[in-house]
Structure formats: structure tokens, C-alpha cells
Amino acid sequence: MDCFYAAIEVRDRPALRGKPVGVGGARDRRGVLTTCTYEARAFGVRSAMPTFMALQRCPQLIVVPTRFDVYRRESGVIREIMRRFTALVEPLSLDEAYLDVTAHPGAPAPLAQVIRDLIFRKTRLTASAGIGPNKLVAKIASDLRKPNGQFEVKPGEVAEFMAPLPVRKIWGIGAVTERKMERLGISTCGELRRFSRAEVQEQFGKFGHELYDLCRGVDERQVEPHRERKSLSNEETFSINLETLEQCEGKLEEIFTELAAELAQKAAARKVTGIFVKLKFADFTRTTVERAGLEVSLDSFHALLTEAFARTGKSVRLMGVGVRFAESMPAEAQLPLL
């Protein structure tokens, strides 16, 4: 979906149309933007940018609060549309999903057009699509004709399509790997292909094995419709930094209570393997303490918080608590009923 949250806000409040709009927390609360409209992007505003920074770049930016219940509902509507065409829908987030349409009799590009039209008719929101022989290619292609467009890479065109792309486009390559590649004189997928599988593996370890395939546009991952949530967390950025452990403890109960409520609502049946506490400090450094085998209780989180706080003693800007889940059931083994 094209700037999903922002698009919904603009749709529901026509007065915002054509204006730079960001969705997220307010500046005085140290909020962060989740998304923004293309009008805002023209000013250099980006998602995940702190609101105060976004307002520096674009003083006329209109910041509206998030309404996740609405986004979830719209997301559900969109996924119902997708499921009319294939049962193999793997959601990546509320506004993004992989669809395996191999079994569909129609050609994929017109099919993508039909799905996008239906989404627009039902939600008045625009979507973009990437069509390719695997997840990697489809995902990269989906960014190329945004907003409200689609791009198809046919199986015979994959090598040619991948060659000029910067290596950063491959999932799993972050800043560190990118720098390492630069030192080796590699900036595009095509350049990476000059290396043999053994050489790539030697340079990049286990991931190198995959890299060798990925830079050629080879990706064997299946579309998994029942991928499960791996963790659940709750965090809060404070309007005033917390200076002492006592102050942190005061906030912990509230953040934990919310997590526990969400856990009960969304994942009561899931087995928790570990719990963690994350702190972000005034200087934007962060630390995370994670333990396996502790029960999900205020006491457990309290112990982790004490340890995390003791690591630096710096004043705390953000505190988060969360749990990790055991894989409860591999999707390939449980047969679907409906």
C-alpha cells in the first residue's frame, strides 16, 4: 500500500489532501513518524523520523496521531480481497503481503491490476505491486512504480533486472556488509556476481552462500501464509528523561501491564521462551537484556531492568519490555481447514 497510514488519514479527512501530512507522535512528546504523505517526502521527511526533526525539515507538516484500529480494519479488508485470488497470502506488515499466484489461471500482471483496482474500489486507497518469479524479485519490483503502479519482471529477465541494482536492495545487507562490499569494489548485484560461491562464502560467511544466489535473483523461499508473530513488545518514550532506577521502576509496572494485556489478548496460547528489557538513553545509545526461561511477571522484568540500568547509569529516554515466542507450529505441517 502507498504510505498506508497517511493515505487513510487523508482519505478520512479531505481537508488534508495535497498537504504534507505525517502520522505519529507529537513533537512535544518526542514522537516518531510512522509514515508520511508524498507531499511530506518532498521535504525530506521519512518514516521512522523523530517528529521534531521532520518539523525542522517541513515546518508546515501536519502531524496526526495514529489510529491502529482503523489501519487494522482496512488491512483486513485488503487481505480478504487478496484471498479471493489465492490462499497463499503472507502478510509482512499491515500494508504489505506476498501473494503466490502460481496456481491462478490468469497472467500475473493483469491479475495484479485487478487486485489493485478492487482494493481501490473498496478502500479508496492505492496500492503498488511487484511481479516476479520469487519473493526477492517481487519485493524489489514493488518499489519501482510507487505510488499506484506495478512492475513485472519475467523469469527470463531476472539476471538483467538484478545486475544494475545496488547490493543494498538485497534483504539482509545492511550498512556493515555494504561497507565491506565497497572495500571489495562491489556496489551492484552484477559486480558481486564476478565472485565464485566459495569466494563469496569466504568473505561473508554463512550468509555468503545465500548472497551468491540472491545477487542472481535466485530465491527459493516459499510464500508462507501462516507465519507467526515471533515476539511481542511494548515501549514508551518519555517526555522527560528518567534519571534514577526508582523512576524507571515506577514506569515499568505501567508498561508491563499493557504488555500483559496485549499478550492475553493476542497470544495467550503461545509459549514464551524469553523476555527482554530494552533501554534507550539520552545520548541515543541503547542496551537490551534478554533472558530465557523466566516467567512473564513484573518481578522478572524488574530484575532485567535493574541489570540494564546498572550497565550505564545514564538517564533513560525510552524503555521497552517484551517477550519472545517459541515456534508453535511449522506452517508446512499443519494442514489448513479453511
Partner 1 sequence: MKFSVTKEKLLEGLQQVQNVVSTRTTLPILSNVLLQAKGDEVHLTTTDLDVGVRGSFEARVEKEGATTLPARRLFTIIRELPSSEIQIEVDGKNAASIRSGQSFFKILGLPEEEFPPLPKFEDAKVITIRQKDLRDGLRKTSYAISTDETRYVLNGVLFSLKENKLTLVATDGRRLAMVDLELEFPRSHEADIIVPTKAVTELQRLLADEGDVKVSIGSSQIAFDLNNTLLVSKLIEGNYPNYRQVIPSETKERVTLERETFLNSLHRVSLLASEKSNSIKLNFSKNNIDITANTPEVGEAKESLAVAYKGREFSIAFNPEFFMAPLRNLTEDEVFLDLIDEMSPGVLKIQSPFLYVLMPMRISS
CB atoms within 10 A of CB 132: 23
Q: Taking the complex as a whole, how short is the minimal distance between the CB of residue 187 and partner 1, in angstroms?
A: 37
Give me Rg for the CA atoms of the chain: 22
Q: Taking the complex as a whole, how short is the minimal distance between the CB of residue 320 and partner 1, in angstroms?
A: 14
What is d(CA 227, CA 92) in angstroms, rounded to the nearest whole number?
9
Burial class for 76, CB neighbours closer than 10 Å (0-12, 13-18, 19+): exposed
What is d(CA 56, CA 42) in angstroms, rounded to the nearest whole number?
14
Cα angle value 317/323/326 (rounded, 5°): 155
**Is residue 81 a contact partner of residue 115, using CB atoms and an 8 Å limit?**
yes
Identity of the residue, 75 or 177, whose beta carbon is nearer to partner 1 in the bound complex: 75
The C-alpha cell 499478550 sits at: 263
Identity of the residue, 16 or 267, whose beta carbon is nearer to partner 1 in the bound complex: 267
Identity of the residue, 137 or 263, whose beta carbon is nearer to partner 1 in the bound complex: 263
Q: Taking the complex as a whole, how short is the minimal distance between the CB of residue 100 and partner 1, in angstroms?
A: 16
Q: Taking the complex as a whole, how short is the minimal distance between the CB of residue 73 and partner 1, in angstroms?
A: 7
Q: Distance of CA 63 to CAs 9, 30, 44, 57, 237, Å?
A: 10, 12, 15, 13, 17
Return residues touching partner 1 (CB under 8 A).
Answer: 65, 72-73, 75-77, 79-80, 91, 257-258, 261-262, 265-269, 271, 326-330, 332-338
What is d(CA 196, CA 212) in angstroms, rounded to the nearest whole number?
8
- Among residues 146, 148, 158, 150, the alpha carbon closest in space to that of 111 is found at 150
What is d(CA 158, CA 138) in angstroms, rounded to the nearest whole number?
10
Q: Taking the complex as a whole, how short is the minimal distance between the CB of residue 214 and partner 1, in angstroms?
A: 26
Active site (annotated) includes residue 9: no
Non-local (6+) Cβ contacts of 48 within 8 A are 32, 33, 34
Identity of the residue, 266 or 311, whose beta carbon is nearer to partner 1 in the bound complex: 266
Length of the chain: 338
Determine which one of 80, 96, 152, 332 is catalytic. Answer: 96
Identity of the residue, 26 or 165, whose beta carbon is nearer to partner 1 in the bound complex: 26
- Give the active site residues: 96
